[in-house]
Homo-oligomer: A and B are copies of this chain.
Amino acid sequence: MGSDVGDPIQHGGNLAKARALFPEAPEPWIDLSTGINPHSYPHSPIPGNVFARLPEPAMLDDLKTVAANAYGAASAAHIAAGPGTQILLPIVASLIGGRKAAVLSPTYAEHARAARLAGFDVTETDELCRMEQADLAIIVNPNNPTGRMVKRDDLLALASVMRAKGGLLVVDEAFVDVSEAESLAGMVGDGGVLVLRSFGKFYGMAGLRLGFAIAQPEIVRTIETRLGPWAVSGPALHVAREALADREWQIQMRERLGTEAATLQACLHDAGIAIHGGTSLFCLVRDPRAQALYQHLGRRGIMTRRFDERPDDLRIGLPDESGWRRLEEALKSF
């Protein structure tokens, strides 16, 4: 195991830390440090029963059916649901044997940690061709934070290499809902590939904790055996069954987020800040002035996400309605 398996990784979304760093900043803070949709899904009220009772097995079956439709999976039997994608990572990494894991990098750091936890030697590489040598290949697509997209044909070719040697390609599609990338959710039937989908990001419901693994039914059953009963909370079942079935909201939201992401890019461009990539839920700045921008925004109560290991990078999410004016003014004064 690498030395960093037990050390907590820093993530966005930590307002207490932002307040400690910028004690003079005006309240309320605008948290742009995560890539979560600021326009949460307008779900119906959650009945008290949903909090009180153990989640009904029939509700989970419903959720899996709705999720299979929404994500384009072959059937509900291809879907495992858990309390957040994060908690699925060590379970997924332990699905196969083998010694070598490769993570297309830079990316969400928890993937490498989970693979090390499962006993793999982990290579972090930015070269797709090097992924083939691994037993466990992990690709976030589109990538967080760079927005890099790997072509579907390249993914399928890699999946086929993995399948042939009993390995596994994990494609984390946490941000695919808002992208032009095609999901692989419908292509897992032959094995060798597993797709992760996150509920909280696109639906703006990260506090609910809900994520999915999409894979061959045998793999799904193994994951569910690990999770045991009642892995998904009642509130998550209630909200997600509505949201995943609401095509109209999904279409309109995709368009809205696309427009807002373009506005964010334009604001950054006008401020002379170089943009490296992103998705409709966040923009990745790569600029020598990234740290100065982090400080400038922080002093104005706007939290963004910096990366210790890449000082020129800054990830900036979308504000809600009330945050735009403050963000625009802060960028103009930079």
Which residues of B have CB within 8 Å of A14? 56-58
A250 at the binding interface (Cβ < 8 Å):
no
User: Is residue A225 contacting chain B, with contact meaning CB distance below 8 A?
Assistant: yes
Interface set, chain A 4-23, CB cutoff 8 A to B: 5-6, 8-9, 11-17
The number of times this chain is found in the oligomer is: 2
Question: What B residues does A34 contact at CB under 8 A?
Answer: 53-54
Of B6, B51, B89, B228, the residue contacting A86 (CB under 8 A) is B228
Output the least CB separation between A79 and chain B (Å). 16
CA distance A235 to B238 in the complex (A): 13
Write the chain B residue with the least CB distance to A54: B13
Using a Cβ–Cβ cut-off of 8 Å, how many residues does chain A contribute to the interface with B?
Answer: 59
A206 contacts B53, C-beta separation under 8 Å: yes
Task: Give Cα distance in the complex from A290 to B270, angstroms.
Answer: 76
In whole Å, how far is A205's beta carbon from the nearest beta carbon of chain B? 6
Closest Cβ of chain B: how far from A323's Cβ, in Å? 13
Q: Provided the pairs A5-B225, A90-B228 are in contact, do residues A206 and B83 lie with their beta carbons within 8 angstroms?
A: no
A16–B54 Cα distance when bound, in Å, is 13
**Interchain CB contact under 8 A, B9 and A229:** yes
**How far apart sit A229 and B113, CA to CA, in the bound complex (Å)?**
12
Is A191 part of the contact surface with B, judged by Cβ < 8 Å? no
A34 and B208 CA atoms in complex are apart in Å by 24
Known: A207-B54, A239-B51. A87 touches B233 (CB 8 A): no
In the complex, A129 has a CB within 8 A of chain B: no
Q: Are A228 and B114 closer than 8 Å at their CB atoms? A: yes
CA distance in complex: A49, B36 (Å): 12
0/1 interface trace, chain A 110-131, chain B, CB 8 Å (1 if under): 1001100100000000000000
A224-245 near B? 1/0 per residue, CB < 8 Å: 0111111111111001000000
The reply on A148 being an interface residue by CB < 8 A is no
Which residue of the partner chain, among B17, B52, B83, B204, contacts A205 with CB atoms under 8 Å?
Answer: B52
Find out whether the CB atom of A83 lies under 8 angstroms from the CB atom of B207.
no
Contact A228 B52 (CB under 8 A): no
Select A233's contact among B58, B208, B228, beta carbons within 8 Å.
B208
A contact set with B: CB distance below 8 Å: 5-6, 8-9, 11-17, 31, 34, 36, 38, 40, 48-58, 83-84, 86-87, 89-90, 110, 113-114, 117, 200, 204-209, 221-222, 225-236, 239
Complex Cα distance A51/B55, Å?
18
A8, A51, A229: most-surrounded residue (chain B CB, <10 A): A51
Note all chain B residues with C-beta closer than 8 A to A57. Answer: 14, 16-17
Residue contact A53 to B231, C-beta cutoff 8 Å: no
A and B contact pairs by CB, cutoff 8 A, 20 listed: A5-B225, A8-B229, A13-B53, A13-B56, A31-B53, A36-B53, A40-B48, A51-B208, A51-B235, A54-B200, A86-B228, A86-B229, A87-B87, A89-B228, A110-B228, A207-B233, A207-B235, A208-B233, A208-B234, A209-B230
A221 near B6 with CB under 8 A, answer: yes
